[in-house]
Amino acid sequence: MNPAAAPDAAAGFRPTHVVPPDGLPTWTAPDAAVPTEPLDPLLPVRLLDRRGDWGQVLCSNGWTAWIDSRPLVPLPQGPPAAGGPLTRTADARRLLARAEETLGAYHRAVADLAAGRTDAETFRRSTEGLRIGAVVDGDAVWLYDPDADHWCYCDGTATALLAPVGPAAPRSASGSDPDEATRIAGPGEG
């Protein structure tokens, strides 16, 4: 880890992503030659730079590292077009109902496991495929749509697409990435 982390790095730190549940290996530069300490599972990070599949992240303690950015889980960000009207789309009630149903199914599975009515394997099978995301902040809500694999923002009257969640497909040498022609192979690549 970087011992020279800034003492006030946490002040104003705003994460853009979370490390996946298995953690992530890190490197000092965007090459697979110099590995460093891995990032902890579910650690919030801020993506600073991208070079192909490589991403430079900032941790809340000020430490930076290079990672394979494809497995990062994006966090919902502020509402789109701050100050401007949202594009009216389908209201959020369908996603709210789905989140409520999914959370209810998970709650029942946890209750059955805690009461000894099921074992760990049955719990795992009964929760497999459950996926929701919801952040409620006053009159604003961010909802994950698992069918379309993206987050939406809703102000109570209109909903707007925020960003897809799935990993971006690696770009080919003919892609639009200006660093692509000189990019070093990313993690797991030839």
pLDDT in tens, 12-71: 677 888 888 889 999 999 988 878 999 998 888 999 999 999 999 999 889 999 999 999
Residue 181 has pLDDT above 50, yes or no: no
Could you tell me if 6 and 60 are in contact, meaning their C-beta atoms sit under 8 angstroms apart? no
Per-residue CA distances from 141 to 23, 41, 50 (Å): 28, 26, 29
* pLDDT tens profile 115-170: 999 999 999 999 998 988 887 777 778 788 888 777 788 877 777 776 555 443 33
* pTM of the model as a whole: 0.48
User: What local confidence, expressed as pLDDT, does residue 86 receive?
Assistant: 54
Rounded to whole angstroms, the Cα distance separating 174 from 171 reads 8
User: What local confidence, expressed as pLDDT, does residue 146 receive?
Assistant: 81
User: Would you list the domain boundaries of the chain?
Assistant: 1-72, 76-179
User: What local confidence, expressed as pLDDT, does residue 67 receive?
Assistant: 95
Residue with tokens 């074992």: 119
Phi, psi of 96 (to 5 degrees): -65, -45
* pLDDT tens profile 66-123: 999 999 988 766 655 544 555 555 678 888 999 999 999 999 999 999 999 999 999 9
Q: Which CATH superfamily is domain 1-72 in?
A: SH3 Domains (2.30.30.40)
